[in-house]
């Protein structure tokens, strides 16, 4: 079993983004860490065609779900993609390919050489992102978006209450994150199974997979908690990227602190496969908002 692999759950809409991610891994993967990508079985031929020549091991989502006891794959397939992918990502550990995995999204891009020591301590313990999201909260307040703060508090309270933890509210992201199989197993053994639940049921209660992982780590301490800050620079909005670019804060300088960058797909719709979705009017409106820095 490998100490660490890279893993991404993707869909055909994100094919171009996934290819970009795979190319960045090919360039910067100094220790040749295995890179696994899971997609719906029906989309495997498409991804094989476009990833030809790149070091990617493709897996069918259905194979992950089949390795998951108490989960009905048809039930997962009936869920919205944004929810179903959380279940698939969180059940990847059941394939017994690794002790820990870096869970990536398709819109990630590596910007410098990376290896095990970016994600694991010398003894193999994964670094865990944990903070109180003050930067996000402050930015939301400055922009009059109190609903962002309210949503964060509500989500945090929900999972903390379910797992019986009182105290400060934490964030366990943003993605990519490093997850250890023993943490997921502890959640399954000590919370889900005694209640006759699967992870599908958990996500139905609170659809925030990173919170389930983080709160399970705090509750059951399956691995030591080694805190770290974000592994990637995340641009939630295009104006954030534009501001950094004007200030000269580009990849070469960001690489001092981050392994990579996340470009939100919401303002990179031109990278949708096979073409940008929506009507002509919606595409035009999106581009205008993008130019105005409102996406």
2-130+172-291 adopts what CATH topology? Spore Coat Polysaccharide Biosynthesis Protein SpsA; Chain A (3.90.550)
What is the tally of helices (H) and strands (E) in the chain? Answer: 13, 10
pLDDT at 251: 78
Q: What are phi and psi of 78, to 5 degrees?
A: -85, -10
* 3-class state of residue 233 by DSSP: strand
How many CB atoms are closer than 10 A to CB 54? Answer: 15
262 contact partners, CB below 8 Å, separation of at least 6: 105, 107, 108, 109, 174, 175, 232, 233, 234, 235
Give the separation between CA 121 and CA 248, rounded to whole angstroms.
32
pLDDT at 282: 56
Among 121, 67, 54, 122, CA closest to 97:
67
For β-strands 260-263 and 108-110, DSSP reports them as: antiparallel
Locus of tokens 């105005």? 292
**Contact indicator for 99, 1 with CB cutoff of 8 Å:** yes
pLDDT tens track for 270-281? 778 777 666 555
pLDDT at 287: 56
Which ranges of the chain would DSSP assign to H, the alpha helix? 15-28, 44-50, 61-66, 73-77, 81-91, 134-142, 146-163, 181-187, 199-205, 209-220, 238-246, 251-254, 280-291
Locus of tokens 């390919």? 97
pLDDT at 138: 86
pLDDT at 253: 85
pLDDT at 49: 97
93 contact partners, CB below 8 Å, separation of at least 6: 101, 179, 181, 184, 185
Residues of the chain with pLDDT under 50: 295
Q: What pTM was computed for the model?
A: 0.90
pLDDT at 280: 56
From residue 224, how far is each of 90, 216, 290 by CA, in Å? 19, 12, 43
Q: What is the DSSP letter of 249?
A: -
pLDDT at 289: 54
pLDDT tens track for 137-160? 887 788 787 888 898 999 999 999
């Amino acid at each position: 079993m490998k100490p660490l692999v890279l893993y991404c759950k993707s869909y055909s809409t994100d094919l171009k983004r996934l290819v970009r991610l795979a190319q960045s891994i090919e360039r910067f993967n100094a220790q040749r860490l295995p890179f696994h990508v899971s997609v719906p079985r029906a989309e495997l031929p498409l991804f094989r065609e476009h990833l030809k020549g790149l070091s990617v091991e493709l897996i069918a989502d259905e194979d992950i779900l089949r390795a998951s006891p108490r989960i009905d794959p048809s039930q997962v397939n009936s869920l919205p993609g944004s929810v179903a992918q959380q279940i698939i990502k969180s059940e990847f550990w059941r394939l017994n390919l690794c002790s820990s995995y870096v869970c990536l999204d398709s819109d990630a891009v590596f910007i410098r050489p990376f290896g095990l020591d970016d994600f694991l301590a010398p003894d193999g313990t994964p670094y865990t992102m944990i903070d109180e999201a003050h930067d996000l909260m402050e930015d939301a307040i400055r922009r009059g978006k109190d609903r962002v703060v309210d949503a964060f508090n509500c989500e945090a309270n929900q999972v903390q209450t379910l797992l019986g933890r009182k105290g400060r509210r934490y964030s366990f992201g943003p993605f990519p994150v490093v997850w250890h199989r023993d943490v997921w197993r502890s959640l399954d053994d000590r919370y889900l199974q005694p209640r006759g639940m699967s992870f599908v049921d958990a996500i139905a209660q609170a659809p925030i997979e990173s919170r389930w992982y983080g709160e399970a780590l705090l509750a059951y301490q399956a691995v030591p908690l080694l805190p770290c800050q974000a592994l990637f620079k995340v641009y939630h909005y295009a104006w954030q990227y534009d501001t950094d670019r004007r200030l000269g804060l580009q990849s070469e300088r960001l690489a001092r602190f981050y392994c990579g960058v996340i470009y939100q797909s919401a303002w990179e719709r031109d990278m949708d496969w096979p073409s940008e979705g929506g009507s002509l009017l919606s595409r035009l409106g999106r581009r205008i908002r993008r130019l105005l820095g409102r996406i």
